[in-house]
Amino acid sequence: MLKFSVVIERDEDGYYVAYVPELPGCHTQARTLDELLERIKEAVKLYLEVEGPEVKGELIGVQFIEVGASEPKTSSSQ
């Protein structure tokens, strides 16, 4: 059995989006997390059928950083 890391985000429209960093191009989206997990498993299986079981990359880890936010720059025409 193979294990993969799955990154999950939420887009502007409220959809959950998942991708597998080790498998470039392997991603999906859904309205619920349950549906998303089923879809990403299916996407991984299909990816491996087409590309083979060789992993293209290796996820080393995830780090969270803090940076100060600044106001967005606006251009004003005079």
Kindly report the number of other CB atoms within 10 A of residue 18's CB atom: 21
- In terms of pLDDT, which residue wins out, 4 or 61? 4
Q: Are 59 and 21 in contact (CB under 8 A)?
A: yes
User: Sign of dihedral through CA atoms 22, 17, 36, 38?
Assistant: negative
pLDDT per residue over 9-59, tens digit each?
999 999 999 999 999 999 999 999 999 999 999 999 999 999 888 777 777
Q: Where are the domains of the chain?
A: 7-51
Q: What is the pTM of this model?
A: 0.74
Bridge partners (DSSP) of residue 8 are: 18
The CATH number, out of the four listed (3.40.50.720, 3.30.160.250, 3.40.50.150, 3.40.630.10), of the domain defined by the range 7-51: 3.30.160.250
